[in-house]
Every structure is written in C-alpha cells, then in structure tokens.
Amino acid sequence: MKKLIGNAVVGQSGGPTAAINATLAGVIRGVLDENCHGGAIKTLYGMRNGVEGLLEERLVNLTELFADEQKLIDLENTPAAALGSCRKKLPTLSEGKETYEKLLEIFKKYDIRYFFYIGGNDSMDTAAKLSEFSKICGYEMRIIGVPKTIDNDLIVTDHTPGFGSAAKYIGTTVREIIRDCAVYTVKAVTIVEIMGRDAGWLTCASALGRRVDGFEPDLVYLPERDFDADKFLFDVRAALERHPNVVIAVSEGIKSADGKYVCELLGSGSTDVFGHTQLTGCGKALEHLVKREIGCKVRSIELNLPQRCASHLASKTDLDESVLVGRGAVKAASEGVSCHMMTILRKSTNPYEIEISSSDVSLIANQAKSVPNEFINEEGNHVTDECVDYLLPLIAGENTPRFEKGLPVHIVI
Amino acid sequence: MKKLIGNAVVGQSGGPTAAINATLAGVIRGVLDENCHGGAIKTLYGMRNGVEGLLEERLVNLTELFADEQKLIDLENTPAAALGSCRKKLPTLSEGKETYEKLLEIFKKYDIRYFFYIGGNDSMDTAAKLSEFSKICGYEMRIIGVPKTIDNDLIVTDHTPGFGSAAKYIGTTVREIIRDCAVYTVKAVTIVEIMGRDAGWLTCASALGRRVDGFEPDLVYLPERDFDADKFLFDVRAALERHPNVVIAVSEGIKSADGKYVCELLGSGSTDVFGHTQLTGCGKALEHLVKREIGCKVRSIELNLPQRCASHLASKTDLDESVLVGRGAVKAASEGVSCHMMTILRKSTNPYEIEISSSDVSLIANQAKSVPNEFINEEGNHVTDECVDYLLPLIAGENTPRFEKGLPVHIVI
C-alpha cells in the first residue's frame, strides 16, 4: 500500500459518553505513534462540533495541544465530547452537491487526507456517505468510522466503546438503589428508567450484581419484548409477595404490541431532528399505573444523563478498549484501510480476549443490533445468565481519574 | 464517673446516606475498643429498623457478627442503613406510657445500659424523649444520639456525617452534566433538581467546581430565598445571552414568597407520615416554565436517590469523620455522658481541623439549620465564595471501596 502523506482530521458526533474522549485520545496517540515512526500523517486537526464545525472551518490543532502526556491522560478521563458534538447527518450525494464541494475545498485547503469520525449509528452514516464521495471525487482520502455509543446497538462489533462504562454505572447505581430501598419494612415499588430507545442493552446491565452476591432488580423489561400492562402488574404483585422492596428496571423504549410507547400513556412523547421519538416519563407512567392498580408506595427514578457521562465510575476495560480502537483506526488508515468502521471482535469470554479489527462501514451504518433472544428469559421479564456473562468482562476494572480538591479533573479544549 | 456495666444497642433511623454504615462501624469499633480495654460494654446489639424493630425485639449481635476487620471495612463502604431504618418517632412520655414500659422491659431483659441512635432530626427527637424517660424511670442508662443526614441541617454541629459524601456526589455529577451539556451549539437549558426540603446545603454543593476550574452551574436557587418566577426567567434569559448551554441547580424545596412550593404549579405535592410535604417535580415544573416562556430546548434532571446512596463516590473525609463520631459516642457514653448528641466542631478551615464533641440532644432535636445569609449572593441566585470554602474540606479525599467483578462489594446484615 502506497504511503499517503498529508494531514488528518478527527471529529466526535452524536450523544456524549464517558469514553468518547478516550477514543479521541487514542486517535491522537495513534497519530503521535505514526509521527514517531516517521509516518505519513503530519498534523491532526480536531473539528469542533463534528461535520457542522468542519464546514465552518472551526478546527483545532490537536497534535500541538496534546504533546503533554498528562493532558492526554486527563482527556481520557473527561466525560462527553471534548471537541463538541453535532446531530448533523450529511445529505445524500445527489442532494448535497454543495456540501460535498465545500468539504472537498476544506480538505484541499488543509491538505487533509485522513478523516476519523467517532460516533454512533448516525455518525457511521456520515462516514459511509463521505466514503462514497471519496471514491468518486478524485481526491485520495482514507475515511474511518470509530464506534462509540452507550447503546451498544451497532452490528458486526461485539460491543461498542462507551457501553461498558455506562453499564458499570448502571450496575453500580441500581445496586446502591437496591440497598437504599431495602431499609424500610413497608411494601414499596421502585422503578428505574434506563436509556435505550430500541435496544435494551443498558437495561440488561442492571442485573450485573447477580454474579457478585445475587442482588439485582426483581424484574427487567426491555424494548425487545412487547410490554403488556396486565402481565406487568401480575409480575409486580408476585414480586411483592416475595419481599417488600421491589425494584424494577425498565428501558425508556418499552412498547406495547401495537407499537405504543408506555410513556405515551402520559402523552409526553416528542420528536427529535432525526424523527426519533424523544421519550420521557416511561418510569413515571409505570409509577402512576402501580399506584392506581396496586396502591402501594411507589417511586420512579430516571437515571438520565449521568448514566452516559459518569467518567468517575468508568470501566477500565472500556476506556482501554476505547483508546485501542482510536489508535487502531490511525494504524489501519496509515496501512491503507478506508471506508471502514473499527470493530471489536470477542475471541473468548473467559478469559476475556478481544481483537481490534474493521469492517465496511456502509454495511454497518443505519442498522441496529437488538438484545438477542437467548439473553432474555422466557417470561420476558428478566435477563438470562448468558446475558450477564456476556456483560461482565465489559465492566471489569476501575479507572482512577485525577482528583483535585475532591473533584475529578476535566480537560476542556 | 462510676463504671456502668451492661450491654449496648445501636439503631439507624431516617433516610439512608452513603456514610450511615460508617458511623455504625464506628460504634462497633468503639465497643470493640472498650472490650479490648476491659471496658464496661459487653455485647453490642443492633436493632433492625430502629425503635420499630427494637419494640419487636428484632435484635442482632453485632460484636459477634463484626469480629472480622474486613467485614467492618466493607460495612463502612456499603450505602444505606445496613440494620434497616424506620420513620417511627416515639410518642411523648404522657401519651406513650405503654411504649416506654415495653422498652424498659426489653432494656432489662437484654441488660441494655447503652443506647446509640444514628439519625437526623426526627431520630434526635427519639433520643431526646428516651433521655427524658431514662432520667425518671429509675433504670440507669446512657443515651447518645449520633448525627447523620445528607441535609446538613442539624444545629450546633458544624456539619453532619453523610453530607460530605452527598456533596461530593452532587459536585462531581453536576460537573459531568455540565460537560455533557456543553457538546452542542444550540441554546439549551438544563435544570438539575437536588434534594433539600427546607435547607439548600446540598444544592450549594453543585458550585464546588468553582475552586477547581471555574465550571459550576450558571444559576443556583435555594429554599432560603423566595422564588420569583419572573426574576428566574430574567436570570435564565441573561445566562443564555452569555453562552448557549445553561445549567441551573435548584433545591426541591424552593418556595414562592407566599409559601407555595414551585412544584405545586404542577400539582404534584403529597404528604409523608410526619406531615412533611413530599416534593416531586420542581425541576419538571421549571422545565415547563422555561419551555413555555423562553421556548428553547430544555430538560430537567432529578438527581434522586443516587445522591444519598452513592457509596462508590463517598468523601474520605466524610467516611473517616462518620467512623469517628460513632467511636466517639461509645467513648463518651463509657465516660458517663448521656442525653447528648455527638457533634463535629470546626477548629480551622485551612488547614482543615475538627474536634469531636457532644451537646445536650434536647436542645438540638426538632430545630433546623439553614444556609446562612453570607453563603448566598445578593441576587439570591448563586452561592458565595465563602460557601464554597466552607464546603471544600468536607468532600476532600477519595474512598476506594472493594470491587468484585467490576461492582462495589456491599455488606448485608
């Protein structure tokens, strides 16, 4: 493969995670490695707010900014996208001629030959479209999508960077909530609402305590199964017979068989710029249902943003892998790979062993991976041991961010 | 002071905290110390679910159960009340003759001469009433209240065990939320609702980042100041002029000048067994207000239970002091002190230095300490530097719980 000499640009897109900056640090480390070895990539630019900022030439010189090792370590421990993010998807090639011409002009101006885009499903769509464009525009470029999403819903890759840290936060927090709820003797139901519009991966993580000491939610409901209010009330009543403090984990996206979100019972749905339904209050809707139909004490807790940005409780495995895929993206690109998304292949679960690889991004974008049948119990109200065993290695290891005056240090670019 | 030989009992009451088990461990350690030194206390019983369980003789032998040092350390790192809690207040002496006779019978049956009660304001009321009873019943006993409450609203003591850990969680989480909210360029308001019915101490902790790197909420509203919706909207509009991502911290208990809780705008208030108004949705009410009046993107986040049970992020200073007051309670009682609540006196802020002391519990119970005027800015929409400097030592130091398979280990009694 011929050496392609030029500069690189990296962007972050989509929702923040606790590990997306670790992947950014990985890309920076990869470029610094390449530089050390007399590589082809000279300067690594960061685009502020993804392609939105790139189109406005809001660029920052990352190779210069992160020459200092401590800054890179702090970046790895900083939650959310340090470069800023966007929700912008590129138009199709036929519809967005002007946009692509503008991009080409900027690539030429800054001699950008490498394009790294860290994000989830919508971001892989951007990487795929740009890959398509790069093939026909006559300007040689290498484009790599680098996955991150707490949702764990990308196909081909065994799991996504960012998911393990969110899973560790959810597993830990739900267990702390279980301890908190166990202190009173009065019958009470606590409903924990967890992120996950179409896939229940994060909600599965609420059951991680099973392999530690058996403490996990009494019931777990995922969007992969139709939600039935009568069956739900039956399950809750049965759980209340077993012990007084019932804790239930639910995905925000659980739906009835006729496709209605549970939260629509409260009329609280709205739509985001991509036409996705914005869900709020599914836990609240179930709280009202239990209150009305069972009449015991009931509360709901929405884990909300902290589940995706709690860097102070990141999984060491997740952060290490996030750096690895970032670094791997640069290595792959410098070796000639393009139009690919980086992937993590699981070679073995026990002992846990992975391999960093990559796969055609156009075959990955705009598809979603659900929790498989064998991870969900027959009754559709909990997860199987197989699911817990799949999840466990992803939350292994604790990360120790640097604290200053009692608070974790964050890097702001 | 004559040596009083007998057994002891300890209970936990009121809402859970991340440090209430550290205080329990402190009491156990104190008794083990006394035992080692040929002290007067033989066996330490734990009452399950506070005085509620004591009246039913649901007792557990703690000196036997916690002979192992590792178990004590794990107990210190376990959130919520390991003995269980209750919301029961003792009746007045004149109204509850039967209850006190039953208690006396149990004290005699188990030769209980020492009574330690770990809790907040309502629990100190129980300790005060029992102290009164012990003075007139002709059965020699020593009764000590040991403070814990995330609310930090007990008088005489500089601060309460449990507060520092909740403050560290809030300070850290609000900063992570600020990072998360900073990634987009579109104008958006994020409202973080923090516990605190009558006192705004916990909400003050959202501003702790000021002394690290300046990142803190744009606006902070406490129940110590009358809430004015017009002034609030004026403040929010001004903040949106300064930068697009506005983060606001509010106490759940903020009230208008005519005494109406903000959440009453949504009609979501209810009443607990003590007649305290149960608040939900103050953040949600403000979210609707901003949506309607300003029209920008807006979300609310209720920190909910995790702010009081996040042992994984406990303040080392708080846990150490929690053990100290528990241990100090046993020492004081063995030296003849009774009818007192343990207190923490601040000798110096920089360097931080405290002294464990005690004070007449009947003068402390049923009173509340608000955030003082000098801790709130003139406009009533933020805290002063003096406030941040008061708080900082309380969140100092990180605690490292033991992790197993990626999750913190909890002790269940």
Does the pLDDT at position B82 exceed 90? yes
What whole-number distance in Å separates Cα of residue A405 and Cα of residue A407?
6
Instruction: Say whether A305 and B301 touch across the interface (CB within 8 A).
Output: yes
**What DSSP character marks residue B185?**
-
Q: Token digits for A16?
A: 């923040």
**B265 falls in which pLDDT band (50, 70, 90)?**
low
The residue count for chain A: 413
Is the CB of A273 inside 8 Å of chain B's CB atoms? no
**B114 falls in which pLDDT band (50, 70, 90)?**
very high
Q: What is the CA radius of gyration of chain B?
A: 22
Is the CB of A278 inside 8 Å of chain B's CB atoms? no
Chain B residues closer than 8 Å to A403 by CB: 398
Residues of A taking part in catalysis:
151
Residues 6+ apart with CB under 8 A from B120: B13, B14, B15, B147, B148, B149, B151, B153, B154, B160
CA neighbours closer than 13 Å in the CB half-sphere of residue B11:
29
Does the pLDDT at position A62 exceed 90? yes
Does the pLDDT at position A275 exceed 70? no
Is the CB of A57 inside 8 Å of chain B's CB atoms? no
Considering chain A, what is the average pLDDT of its residues?
93
What whole-number distance in Å separates Cα of residue A313 and Cα of residue A398?
7
Instruction: Say whether A213 and B184 touch across the interface (CB within 8 A).
Output: no
Chain A residues closer than 8 Å to B303 by CB: 306
10 Å Cβ neighbour count for A232? 21
User: How many angstroms separate the CA of residue A341 from the nearest CA in chain B?
Assistant: 23
Residues 6+ apart with CB under 8 A from B7: B41, B42, B43, B44, B45, B110, B111, B112, B113, B114
Instruction: Say whether A309 and B180 touch across the interface (CB within 8 A).
Output: yes
What whole-number distance in Å separates Cα of residue B236 and Cα of residue B239?
5
Instruction: Say whether B406 and A315 touch across the interface (CB within 8 A).
Output: yes
Q: Write out the E strands in B30-126.
A: 41-47, 59-61, 112-119
Q: Token digits for A259?
A: 């496709």
Query: CA angle at residue A265 from A261 to A268, to 5 degrees?
Result: 80
Instruction: Say whether B409 and A173 touch across the interface (CB within 8 A).
Output: no
At B347-370, the pLDDT tens digits run 999 999 999 999 999 998 888 999
What whole-number distance in Å separates Cα of residue A73 and Cα of residue A21?
10
The pLDDT, as a whole number, for residue A381 is: 98
Q: Which residues pair with B404 in a beta bridge?
A: B407
A30-44, A85-99, A103-117, A134-148: which range is least confident on average?
Answer: A30-44
Is the CB of A13 inside 8 Å of chain B's CB atoms? no
Nearest CB among B176, B183, B311 relative to A311 is that of B176
Instruction: Say whether B406 and A171 touch across the interface (CB within 8 A).
Output: yes
Q: Which residues of B278-314 are buried (b: 16+ CB within 10 A; e: fewer)?
A: ebbbbbbbbbebbeeebeeebbbbbbbbbbbbbbbbb
User: How many angstroms separate the CA of residue B42 from the nearest CA in chain A?
Assistant: 27
The pLDDT, as a whole number, for residue A351 is: 96
10 Å Cβ neighbour count for A2? 7
**A288 falls in which pLDDT band (50, 70, 90)?**
confident
- Contact present, B265 and B293 (Cβ < 8 Å): no
User: How many angstroms separate the CA of residue B114 from the nearest CA in chain A?
Assistant: 23
Q: Which of A260, A255, A300 is nearest to A281 (CA)?
A: A300
Does the pLDDT at position A335 exceed 70? yes
Q: What share of chain B is helix, strand, coil (3-state, %, to 5)?
A: 40, 20, 40
Q: Token digits for B27?
A: 């009491």
CA distances from B263 to A280, A296, B194, B217, B280 (A): 18, 23, 13, 21, 7
What is the residue type of A382? H
Stated pTM of the model: 0.95
- Contact present, B130 and B144 (Cβ < 8 Å): no
Instruction: Say whether A52 and B185 touch across the interface (CB within 8 A).
Output: yes
Torsion, Cα of A304, A310, A313, A319 (10° steps): 120
- Chain B residues 86-125 with a CB less than 8 Å from chain A: 86-87
Q: Token digits for B298?
A: 């807006």
- Chain B residues 323-362 with a CB less than 8 Å from chain A: none
Peptide bond into B351 cis (omega under 30): yes
What whole-number distance in Å separates Cα of residue B321 and Cα of residue B157?
12
The pLDDT, as a whole number, for residue A130 is: 94
Average pLDDT of the segment spanning A253-269: 77
The pLDDT, as a whole number, for residue A268 is: 45
Between residues B268 and A236, the one the model is more confident about: A236
At A69-126, the pLDDT tens digits run 999 999 999 999 999 999 888 999 999 999 999 999 999 999 999 999 999 988 999 9
Does the pLDDT at position B158 exceed 90? yes
Average pLDDT of the segment spanning B333-343: 95
CA distances from A202 to A41, A153, A164, B409 (A): 37, 10, 9, 21
Is the CB of B85 inside 8 Å of chain A's CB atoms? yes
Chain B interface test: which of A21, A148, A180 (most B C-beta within 10 Å): A180
At A243-259, the pLDDT tens digits run 999 999 999 999 999 99
Chain B interface test: which of A52, A83, A280, A405 (most B C-beta within 10 Å): A405
Q: Write out the E strands in B22-165.
A: 41-47, 59-61, 112-119, 142-147
Average pLDDT of the segment spanning A215-219: 98
Nearest CB among A179, A311, A410 relative to B410 is that of A179
User: How many angstroms separate the CA of residue B222 from the nearest CA in chain A?
Assistant: 22
A214 Rama class: left (phi>0) / alpha (psi -120 to 50) / beta? left
**A39 falls in which pLDDT band (50, 70, 90)?**
confident
Q: Token digits for A90?
A: 């590129």
10 Å Cβ neighbour count for A78? 26
Sign of the alpha-carbon torsion through B117, B122, B126, B127: positive
Instruction: Say whether A301 and B301 touch across the interface (CB within 8 A).
Output: no
Query: CA angle at residue A236 from A230 to A238, to 5 degrees?
Result: 105
Instruction: Say whether A183 and B81 touch across the interface (CB within 8 A).
Output: yes
User: How many angstroms separate the CA of residue B68 from the nearest CA in chain A?
Assistant: 19
Is the CB of B380 inside 8 Å of chain A's CB atoms? no
Q: Is A346 helix (H, G, I), strand (E, B) or coil?
A: strand
Average pLDDT of the segment spanning A276-285: 68
Is the CB of A389 inside 8 Å of chain B's CB atoms? no
Q: Which residue has the tokens 């009305």?
A: A292
- Contact present, B165 and B20 (Cβ < 8 Å): no
Instruction: Say whether A406 and B396 touch across the interface (CB within 8 A).
Output: yes
- H-run or E-run covering B297: strand B297-302
Does the pLDDT at position B271 exceed 50? no
B14 Rama class: left (phi>0) / alpha (psi -120 to 50) / beta? left
Chain B residues closer than 8 Å to A313 by CB: 312-313
The pLDDT, as a whole number, for residue B266 is: 52
Does the pLDDT at position A267 exceed 60? no
Residues 6+ apart with CB under 8 A from A1: A335, A336
What whole-number distance in Å separates Cα of residue A155 and Cα of residue A146?
13
Sign of the alpha-carbon torsion through A311, A312, A317, A323: positive
Is the CB of A213 inside 8 Å of chain B's CB atoms? yes
Chain A interface test: which of B179, B194, B413 (most A C-beta within 10 Å): B179
Domains in chain B, please, with CATH?
Answer: 6-161+311-367+397-408 (3.40.50.450), 164-309 (3.40.50.460)
Is the CB of B273 inside 8 Å of chain A's CB atoms? no
Is the CB of A188 inside 8 Å of chain B's CB atoms? no
- Contact present, B117 and B146 (Cβ < 8 Å): yes
- The rounded percent of chain B whose pLDDT value lies above 90 is 85
**What DSSP character marks residue A90?**
P
What whole-number distance in Å separates Cα of residue B292 and Cα of residue B269?
22
The pLDDT, as a whole number, for residue B359 is: 96
Chain A interface test: which of B180, B212, B248, B278 (most A C-beta within 10 Å): B180
Instruction: Say whether B180 and A308 touch across the interface (CB within 8 A).
Output: yes
Q: Token digits for A227?
A: 């939600």
User: How many angstroms separate the CA of residue A391 from the nearest CA in chain B?
Assistant: 10
Does the pLDDT at position A211 exceed 90? yes
Chain A residues closer than 8 Å to B12 by CB: 183
The pLDDT, as a whole number, for residue B278 is: 45
Q: What share of chain A is helix, strand, coil (3-state, %, to 5)?
A: 40, 20, 40
Q: Which of A375, A22, A16 is nearest to A208 (CA)?
A: A375
The pLDDT, as a whole number, for residue B366 is: 84
Instruction: Say whether A184 and B84 touch across the interface (CB within 8 A).
Output: yes
Q: What is the CA radius of gyration of chain A?
A: 22
- H-run or E-run covering A231: helix A229-242
Q: Maximum Cα–Cα distance for chain B, whole Å? A: 72
- The rounded percent of chain A whose pLDDT value lies above 90 is 85
Q: Is B370 helix (H, G, I), strand (E, B) or coil?
A: coil
Nearest CB among B52, B182, B212 relative to A405 is that of B212
Chain A residues closer than 8 Å to B408 by CB: 172, 175-176
Peptide bond into A306 cis (omega under 30): no
Nearest CB among B80, B84, B406 relative to A392 is that of B406
Q: Which residue in the list B74, B151, B153, B235 is annotated as catalytic?
A: B151
10 Å Cβ neighbour count for B258? 6
User: How many angstroms separate the CA of residue B193 from the nearest CA in chain A?
Assistant: 12
Does the pLDDT at position B1 exceed 80? no
Considering chain B, what is the average pLDDT of its residues?
93
Nearest CB among B49, B78, B208 relative to A179 is that of B78
